[in-house]
Chains A and B, each alone.
Chain A
């Protein structure tokens, strides 16, 4: 619990990080109609995919934010040496990533949807898909960030490593929202979340032991 408290405390002390995620999302969605077309019918068709892509990119931008500071100040070493299970530490880091980078974006999704002339039914299914799908993005982002900690040009490597793993939640999430809740996609996305929750914190913990040895 101490770790979770610390993550929340750091989140409250870094409002700029939350604002950065929000600003990125709002700017992309605001610029999109200017660059493509202001036609509401076209925007409506593209809206779900666009918001999902923005969410995915936001999660990537924030991937190594908190881990990098823990690595540099030595907190990560102490976490590895501590008595708390390392998989739990990694799970909490993923929760922290989700809270700072993705939850704010989910909260303003109705606003983004309105900017793209989205129907209210689609908006509800989009929020549902984001709530189920984005934790998967966070779990993968923390795993990828841990892999590239302390490496030169880690950012580019992070993109290459993560992209193939982020495509399934993207495809399932957009399809679930665009088909207005077809159960097939919902079950697959929920299944992916369950499998990710059960495996990725352990994988991240193994990688963390290697990362602190760099």
Chain B
């Protein structure tokens, strides 16, 4: 589903990481751990196809891939519902309003559907951004520090979401500062000084 060979990235006068080899098969979870500034987000941006300035090879065999980075793609002047509708349209999917409302309800956002995203808290905005993961059929998920800024409920919901995605045979790559539930993770990649 995803394979990287000798992946290296030189940015701002230093090697962020060198010769990374890893792969994610169908139904597997890869966790990327590392401190701030070790290149986790850069690696995610490379995997998502947003950065082309790297050495080595990245192959993605998944039919489709969803990426959640530090910027969620939510316009502050649009409502929660409008933002999710737009993000889904960008993925070429047009779910009905009922389906959208059901997904938003699962993420605890039913009361905020008509609220503008600029009025929401960081955690609420992250949950809005995660709605498209609930609705999409993408095979590979790339979640860069998706667990941060979420409260206990949001964190549990995301874990459940990830688990059901993996159970369906999807691939998952996520990053965090600390190791998460080892039962869920198949592989771990540690970035930073050796």
Interface residues of A (CB under 8 A from B): 2-3, 6, 9-10, 13-14, 69-70, 72-75, 77-84, 209, 212-213
Q: In the complex, what residues of B have CB within 8 A of residue A213's CB?
A: 45, 50-53
Query: Bound state CA distance, A6 and B48, in angstroms?
Result: 24
Q: In the complex, what residues of B have CB within 8 A of residue A74's CB?
A: 69-74
A/B interface sample: 14 pairs, CB < 8 A: A3-B86, A6-B75, A9-B82, A10-B75, A13-B78, A70-B75, A73-B74, A74-B72, A80-B50, A81-B49, A82-B90, A83-B91, A83-B92, A213-B51
Given contacts A77-B67, A84-B92, 20 further A-B contacts (CB under 8 A): A2-B89, A3-B90, A6-B82, A10-B75, A10-B77, A13-B78, A69-B75, A73-B71, A74-B70, A77-B73, A78-B87, A79-B90, A80-B50, A81-B50, A82-B91, A83-B91, A84-B90, A212-B50, A213-B50, A213-B53
Interchain residue pairs A-B with the least CB separation, the first 6:
A74-B71, A82-B90, A2-B89, A78-B73, A83-B92, A74-B73
Identify whether the interface residues of B are mostly helix, strand, loop, or mixed.
loop
B137 at the A/B interface (Cβ < 8 Å)? no
Interface residues of B (CB under 8 A from A): 45, 48-53, 65, 67, 69-78, 82, 85-87, 89-92, 94
Q: Which residue of B lies closest to A209 (CB)?
A: B52
Q: In the complex, what residues of B have CB within 8 A of residue A70's CB?
A: 75
Query: Bound state CA distance, A81 and B90, in angstroms?
Result: 8
User: Is B75 a contact of A73 with CB atoms below 8 Å?
Assistant: yes
Given contacts A81-B67, A83-B91, A213-B45, contact A73 B86 (CB under 8 A): no
CB distance from A53 to the nearest CB of B (A): 31
